[in-house]
Amino acid sequence: MNELPVKTSNFIKQGKFYIQITCSNEGALELINESIDELKTEKVNFVKEKIKRDIKNACIYFIFIVF
């Protein structure tokens, strides 16, 4: 959100996020949707990395228990 030409108010009320925009509504919605798509992709990558790290830690722990 910080790279978008959108000013946010950091005000959340009843699950709604209010945004002051400096461009057209369509443009802002398009930029927000792109950002949400990027966040979804980053979430998938984060989960994969977390699983990979947890498997590595589990293997190290298993080796430690065996010895």
Structure tokens at 3: 């790279």
pLDDT classification of 4: cutoffs 50, 70, 90: low
Evaluate the CA torsion angle 26, 28, 32, 34 in order and state its sign. positive
Considering the chain, what is the average pLDDT of its residues? 77
Q: Which pLDDT belongs to residue 1?
A: 47
Report the share of the chain in percent with pLDDT over 90.
30
| Strand, helix or coil for residue 37 | helix
Asked if pLDDT for residue 36 goes beyond 90, the answer is: no
Q: Confirm whether pTM is higher than 0.85.
A: no
Bridge partners of residue 21, in order along the sequence? 6
60 and 51 Cβ atoms separated by less than 8 Å: no
